Amino acid sequence: MMTKVMAFGEALIDFLSNGQTGLDGQESFTKFPGGAPANVAVAVARLGGNSHFAGQVGDDVFGHFLKDSLESYGVKTDSMLMTKEAKTALAFVSLDSTGERSFEFYRNPSADMLFRREDFQSEWFYAPQGVFHTCSNTLTDANITTATMAGIVMAKAAGWIVSIDVNLRINLWPEHQVDTDRVIAWMRQGDVIKASLEELEVLANEPLNLIQELLAGGVSLFVLTDGGNPVRYFTANGQGEIAAPKVEVKDTTAAGDAFVGGLLYQLAERGGDRESLKAFDEAELQACIRFAVACGADSVTKAGAYPSLPNLEQANARLATF
């Protein structure tokens, strides 16, 4: 049986800027399925992985659209809940001339924030190998934080790899103030962490010191991105970097999620449990990260979230270019 990858968190609607103006000079938007963990789930499925999404959407038009969209891309939704207590979250994504994004969220509270620790089912973690993926958008509220940590405890008890994408969206936090202690406490529970340098600078005055502290505390792999600069990676035994190929950037919306999906797909293919991860040698680490870089690079050449995520043939073709 293929190793299970389960991404937990928000599935939402991305209203993506068309980069056009109408007669009144206003920006226009098109609806896309999105949400960072949902994007990661689709990224894994597109590559051929055993991908599952865990979370909650509204029992509304947008929620059913998201469930149908995930299933159409091959993501299993048996751990996806629907509720009438709140609406599905929305995000309006504006793009500047370089393809960089700015976000405006409608999510307070939305259906994803009402997921509770008791909603996790033990049978979701049935297999001795698996990857449980989370990101910081499920830390912005005390109750959803408790649920996130409960999922991590269950994943660890099953021997699964715990994946963390810091993915800070500051405007989701109350008063736009990130609870750095909460985020760092969550990061300490990870086996694999991906963060951007910009995000780490929000969390710590000395980002590289924080990385070393996390590695000393049991994190196996820390991957640090920095825009178009080489991706750096750190383990308890050393560090390295992988340069990204030069591509024509159209839309960066799913770049980070494509990268994470590619990395998790590789980890699942190479064992998918905490002990196998600890045994990785330098060549295996580099192969995993180069593949992830190729996935991220390929995604930015296309528009949207799900539609931009590469399949295995496209990822390998991009990988062959650098």
Q: Is 34 helix (H, G, I), strand (E, B) or coil?
A: strand
Per-residue exposure over 210-247, b if at least 16 CB sit within 10 Å of its own CB, e if not: bbbebbeeebbbbbbbeeeeebbbbbeeeeeebebeeb
Angle at which helices 312-319 and 282-299 pack, to 10 degrees? Answer: 110
**Distance between CA 293 and CA 242 in Å, rounded?**
8
Q: Which of 120, 12, 8, 137 is nearest to 63 (CA)?
A: 12
Going by the DSSP 8-state scheme, the letter that residue 28 receives in this structure is: E
Q: pTM to 2 decimals?
A: 0.94
**Distance between CA 159 and CA 179 in Å, rounded?**
29
pLDDT > 90? residue 96: no
Do the Cβ atoms of 151 and 54 come closer than 8 Å? yes
What band does 214 get if pLDDT is binned at 50, 70 and 90? Answer: very high
Give the per-residue pLDDT at 26: 79
Residue-wise pLDDT for 9-48, tens only, equals 999 998 878 876 666 667 788 888 989 999 999 999 999 9
pLDDT > 80? residue 264: yes
Give the per-residue pLDDT at 105: 87
What band does 107 get if pLDDT is binned at 50, 70 and 90? Answer: confident
Domain locations along the chain: 4-319
* Distances in whole angstroms, Cα of residue 319 to Cα of each of 82, 221, 264: 38, 21, 16
Which CATH superfamily hosts domain 4-319? Ribokinase (3.40.1190.20)
**Stretch 300-317: mean pLDDT, rounded?**
92
Give the per-residue pLDDT at 16: 79
**Distance between CA 175 and CA 299 in Å, rounded?**
32
Residue-wise pLDDT for 44-55, tens only, equals 999 999 999 999
Give the per-residue pLDDT at 294: 97
pLDDT > 70? residue 314: yes
Residue-wise pLDDT for 163-213, tens only, equals 999 999 998 999 999 999 999 999 999 999 999 999 999 999 999 999 999
What band does 252 get if pLDDT is binned at 50, 70 and 90? Answer: confident
Q: Say how far residue 127 (Cα) sits from the centre of its chain.
A: 22
Query: What rounded mean pLDDT belongs to the chain?
Result: 93
Residue-wise pLDDT for 146-168, tens only, equals 999 999 999 999 999 999 999 99
- 230: tokens are 């080489």
pLDDT > 70? residue 134: yes
